[in-house]
Every structure is written in structure tokens, then in C-alpha cells.
Structure 1
Amino acid sequence: MKLIKVGFTIVILVLTTLWGVGAVYFGDSDTGVVQLWISAMFGLLGLAALICLGLPRWRKRLLLGHSMAFIIILAWWLGISPSNQRNWQMDAGKLAYASFVGDTVTVHNIRNFDYRSEFDFQPAYYSKTFDLNKFQGIDLFSVYWMGPAIAHTILSFDFGGNDHLAVSIEARKEQGEGYSTIKGFFRQYELIYFVADERDVIRLRTNYRKDPPEQVYRYRLQGSMENGRRLFLEYMRKINELNEQPAFYNTLLDNCTTAIWLRTLSNQGHLPFSWKILLSGYLPEYLYQSQRLDTRMPFQELQRQARINSQAQAADQSPDFSMRIRESNQ
């Protein structure tokens, strides 16, 4: 029993020390000298508490000191507030929003950039009205660039013909800011729902991202139209909410895939949480196993047919891009 207690204390000490060091080091913005020193001192305090676990004379004092310092850091960190008023990168400069009249939803600031390369583009936005009575389903796009375990997930809502509205949930970055998985744990990025034309958000990944190249797969989700419409409306409510109350992106808890699962909680019969949602590259397999994809063929064959890079590269700037990437690649 004593060994279990010591082991538990060691785990808690290591986790709180690592988290506290990261929270202070990254802070509310750029890392400064003061933050660097405070994070280093907290790390040393945690190390000292760990070393002195076997010294009864010092153990209680150091554990108490570490706990008090951690509580102060946590209270300060929880006081960091998200904002919509920052010097955003050009691609994240505008937030989408929606207005509702009866069975129609008008979506504003739909992104539709004209790309010459990944970072060379002409910004463009438009508004469009969608009739909920014409809703036909949802496609899931899985984007891979670093092996099978991790993928970026995008949902696209189908209103018939070439009317598809894609939503990509991402970290909203400031000018000169890159993405870091570690920083994403520490309130460094605001959350953004990129509401975009598929010629923008899908074509960017299939045609223009080269370092590394990205492989894009499209899967048609199986489910009731009512649940699909409800999920679409939940998305629209969320993008309106983010206009009024910005929120932080979180690498683990509120990212491109976990946020989708959270939105689906509005539907009865939603999928239970799974580790395959955290390791998002396996999400299509989880959906297949849960009868939410076409199961008339083995998953490996469905996945092979789902890859759309060649269709997207052939369609490129075509106005019927959405229809052409849905052409069979058999």
C-alpha cells in the first residue's frame, strides 16, 4: 500500500511539474525572460520535491511548497482569456457566421481563396443561403501527412449538386505564428471553424500543400437526414457562438476531431467515445466498424476508393470541383 501511495505521488509530481513548466513558459503570448526564469524555478522545485520524497524532514515542506506554487500557476493560467482581437494570419482574418429564416440558413464569410501556392493566394469570401429541405447528407474528409495514426478531419455538408459547405476546425494563428502540438495544450491558440468552399479547404490540401504532401480521403457518412440537419445547425450555432465568445483550441480536448464528436452529442444514438477519435487517423475505421460508413465492401477497398487526390488535381479550379472529386476513381 505504501509503494502504491509513493508511486501515485511520483506520478502526480511529474505531471504537475511538467504542466506547470509548460504553462508558465508559454504564458499568454511570447515567452519572456521572466516567464523563462519562473518556469525554470518551478521545474527545480518539482525536481527537489521528487528527490526529497525519501527524506521525511524535507518531504512535507517541499510537497506543500510545490502544491502552493502549482495552485498559484493554475489560478493565473485559468485567468488567461481568449480573444477575437489579435493580429491574425490572413487566412484566419474573418470568422464565418450564420443567420436563420425559417428552413433557410444564410452563411456569411464562406472562404474561397484563389491559390497560386500554399502561402500565395488571393483572399475571397462569399455568402450563400442553404435550404434545409435540400439537405442530402454529410461527407467526412480525412487528411494524412504523417502516417496512419493522425489525420485532420473535415466535415462537408451536402445540399445537392455542387452545393457543399465544408467546415474545418483548426487553431487560429496570429501573424508569424506556427502550429505546435505542445503549445496547443497551453491556451496558445484560439479555436476557429473555417467555413469554406471545397475548392478552398479541400483543394488547398490536395493540390497545393507539398511539404509534406497530404493524402485526402472522402467518406460518405451513413445516418438519418434529420440527424444530419441537426448536426449542421449545431455547427452553425457554434460558429455564431465563437463570434461572441471566443474559445481556446486544445490539442487533446477541442481539436478537429474531438470537436466534431462534441457537436454530435446533440443527436440521440451518437457514437460512444473511443481512442480512435483521439488517434484521428483511425476514425474512418471506427465509423466503418460502427456501421456509419458503407460496409458493402471491406474497409481496405473502401479506403482505396475514398482517396481523391487525383480527381482534385484534375478538377483544380473548375467550378464543378465538388462534383468532380466525387467521381469514381475505380
Structure 2
Amino acid sequence: MLVAALWVTGLLAYQLPGPGWLRWVAIAAWAGFALTTAVGVARARAGRWPGAVYVGALVLCGVWWLLLTPRQDRVWADDVAQRLKVVEFDGTHVVLDNVRNFTWRSEDDHDVHWVRRSYDLDQLRSADLVMSYWMGPMIAHTLISFGFADGRQLVFSLEIRKERGESFSALGGFFRKFEMTLVAAEETDIIRVRSNVRGEDVYLYRLQGMTREQLKGLFVSYLGEARKLDAAPAFYNTLTSNCTTIVYELAKQIAPGLPLDYRLLVSGYFAEYARDLGVLTPGVDFATLKARGRITDRARAAGNDPAFSQLIRQGVPGMHQGTAP
């Protein structure tokens, strides 16, 4: 009963329309009723009707939950306003529309640039795991940056699709509060905004042990996710559909035996999970990988330098190693 009561409380808090005071009134009324019913049941004094009403309320809330549907037509924040589109893909060459290439001066002061980019997947040379921390060591945002032979980088990031003026809430992510979107962006945008503008602490690790075909397969998996989210919206879920679980789900497509692990949920430790899988630079202990992979200071020093991607990788282990031939 307690778990059900808490779930309904969250649903009311994040989904009940109307002014904030109305939500608080509804939450207070529900909490009082749930507590009274629970105490009555525990003391065998509730009788038949309070319990029946309680179950009925749960059923109605469950129906409400099931009827919630994600949308594509809200007034979105600038950085998630456009959907990534796979314009062309012949198995090797891909054309992407709405690659993000913003210039950020602050969260509220930025130049909006959505661009079209073409990539030759035969020129893929590397993939880097990027971890950005903003609320302590347990929680991090996970991104994958793909490197090409011509020096270009393309970063994929699964994010909540915020409405204008909306802020992220981890709890809201349990209650279908947010849609999700797949962002493809230049490193000078999506990494730099986190390290230089939002003040997050950012780490970068070179992924090792993939053949060229596996690397290409991981990239193509992201294209499949982009097509799905372009065709139909989906809800973000803090537990099951977030920036870390998508990396795991896509990686499973090229390595089906990947084990489940608590670090898929406690995302701040995902890099250690990758180390235990043997996909980080071999022969280097994790403490060194983490210390030398911290790119925060280098990113801030690089600023708007066109060589941003090269500068942030200086000293990171494994940077001269890519995929197998």
C-alpha cells in the first residue's frame, strides 16, 4: 500500500494539470486518505468501503498513466527543438539533418545552428565514452563521441526533450514527465556547454577492442534509434530509458552477451563497468584512466579554439589507438 500510495503521489505531482496549489491540495487529500486507509487496514477497522475506494483510485490512476502519450508538438527548448533526421544512408555514406552546432556563451545566450552533415562510415576510426557529472559521483550523463579519419567528431546523446522553461527532474523521469530525444552534435557544442557553461565535471575514455565492423555497427545502431524517435515520440524514463541504458542496449546489438550490472543505473560508475568489460585502454589502472581522462580544465582552457577536440584529448590514455583493421 505504501509503494502504491507513493506512486500515485508522484503521478499527481508531475501530471496533474492546473496551478501548483491545486496539485498540493490533491496530494494532501490523497495522502490523508491513503494514511487513514492504511492505518485502518493495519488495525482491522477499515471496513469494506475505504479499501474498495482505495483500490478503485489505484485503478483509475493506472488507466490515467496508460493513457498518457508522448508528443512531438510542444514548445521545445532551443537545444532540443529539432529532431535528428537520417536523410540518406546507403550502408556506408550517411547524411544527417539537424546536427547541433550551437555557440554557447551562457545557458540563456547562445547562437542556434542546426546543420546538415555527411559522413563516410568507412572512415570511422574511434569511439570515446564521455561522462559528465553535475550532481555528485553517482550520477553522470553518458555520451558517445565517434571519430573519423579526417579529424571530425560526432557525439550522440540521449536527452530529455525539455519544453521551453522546463528543468530536468530525476523523479519526474519516473512519471512520464518528459519525452526523450537523440541529439547528434559537434564536440564544441555538446561537450563544451557542459564543461565551460554549465560547470559540469567531464571525463573522456577511449573505447578499445572493437573491430571496424563493430564500430560501424554501434554508429548504425544510433541511426536506428534516431529514425525511431523521428517517426514516433517516446517517454524518457530515469530507470529504463536514459542516456546510459541506451548505450548498453545499442552495444548489446554488437555484443549480445553483455551482462547486466547495477552501474547501468548508478550511471556515475559506468566507466568502471566499461573497464571491467575490458573496453577501456588496457594496461592502465582505472585511477590513472580517470585522472588523465578528466578533460574539464583542458576544455575550459581551450575555449572556442578550433582545435578543441584535439586539445581536450591531450594526455588521455589510448588516444593513438583506434579500432582493429
TM-score (norm 1): 0.89
Q: CA deviation at 1:32?
A: 5.6
CA distance in 2, matches of 1:165, 1:189: 25
Q: CA deviation at 1:164?
A: 1.1
Q: 1:312 to 1:187 in 2, by over 3 A?
A: same
Matched, 1:227 2:214: yes
Q: 1:60 to 1:227 in 2, by over 3 A?
A: farther
Match of 1:119 in 2: 108
Q: CA deviation at 1:136?
A: 1.4
Contact 1:42 1:69 in 2 (8 A): no
Matched, 1:16 2:4: yes
Contact 1:171 1:249 in 2 (8 A): yes
Match of 1:217 in 2: 203
Which 5+ residue runs of structure 1 have no aligned equivalent?
1-12
Q: 1:141 to 1:61 in 2, by over 3 A?
A: same
Match of 2:187 in 1: 198
Matched, 1:250 2:237: yes
Match of 2:37 in 1: 49
Structure 1, 303-312 or 188-197: larger mean CA deviation: 303-312
Match of 1:128 in 2: 117
Q: 1:223 to 1:80 in 2, by over 3 A?
A: same
Supply the AA of the counterpart residue of 2:273: Y
Paired-residue identity, %: 35
CA distance in 1, matches of 2:273, 2:23: 42
CA distance in 2, matches of 1:246, 1:223: 34
CA distance in 2, matches of 1:199, 1:319: 8
1:261-318 residue CA offsets vs partner (Å, 9 max, x unmatched): 1222212345211111111111111111221111312110111110112322233222
Following superposition of structure 1 onto structure 2, how do residues 75-224 of structure 1 map, counting pairs within 5 Å?
75-98=63-86, 99-209=88-198, 213-224=199-210
TM-score (norm 2): 0.90
Match of 1:296 in 2: 283
CA distance in 1, matches of 2:231, 2:113: 23
Q: 1:154 to 1:37 in 2, by over 3 A?
A: same
CA distance in 2, matches of 1:241, 1:110: 17
CA distance in 2, matches of 1:14, 1:223: 47
Contact 1:25 1:31 in 2 (8 A): no
CA distance in 1, matches of 2:60, 2:176: 17
Q: CA deviation at 1:65?
A: 2.3
Aligned-residue CA RMSD (Å): 2.0
CA distance in 1, matches of 2:8, 2:157: 31
Which 5+ residue runs of structure 2 have no aligned equivalent?
318-325
Q: 1:30 to 1:205 in 2, by over 3 A?
A: farther
Supply the AA of the counterpart residue of 1:284: A
Structure 1, 243-252 or 35-44: larger mean CA deviation: 35-44
CA distance in 1, matches of 2:61, 2:275: 43
Q: 1:160 to 1:169 in 2, by over 3 A?
A: same
Q: CA deviation at 1:232?
A: 1.1
CA distance in 1, matches of 2:91, 2:270: 34
Match of 1:313 in 2: 300
CA distance in 1, matches of 2:166, 2:147: 33
Q: 1:105 to 1:28 in 2, by over 3 A?
A: farther
**SS at 1:56 equivalent:** coil
Match of 2:322 in 1: none
Contact 2:13 2:27 in 1 (8 A): yes
